[in-house]
Amino acid sequence: MQIYMYIYICIHAHTHICIYLSKRQFNRGHCPNSPW
């Protein structure tokens, strides 16, 4: 069920979480609403 939490975070907080993770090259491509 953790994947749904990641999706929720990416949708609602992608400006913080996805940018941080994408800079770490960890969550690239996992956030559909993230421009990167």
> What total number of domains does the chain contain?
1
Residue 4 reports pLDDT greater than 60:
yes
Instruction: Give the mean model confidence (pLDDT) for residues 28-35.
Output: 54
More confident residue, 7 or 17: 7
More confident residue, 23 or 3: 3
Residue 36's pLDDT is 44
Q: Check: CB of residue 32 under 8 Å from CB of residue 10.
A: yes
Nearest of 27, 25, 23, 24 to residue 11 by alpha carbon: 27
Range of the domain at 7: 1-36
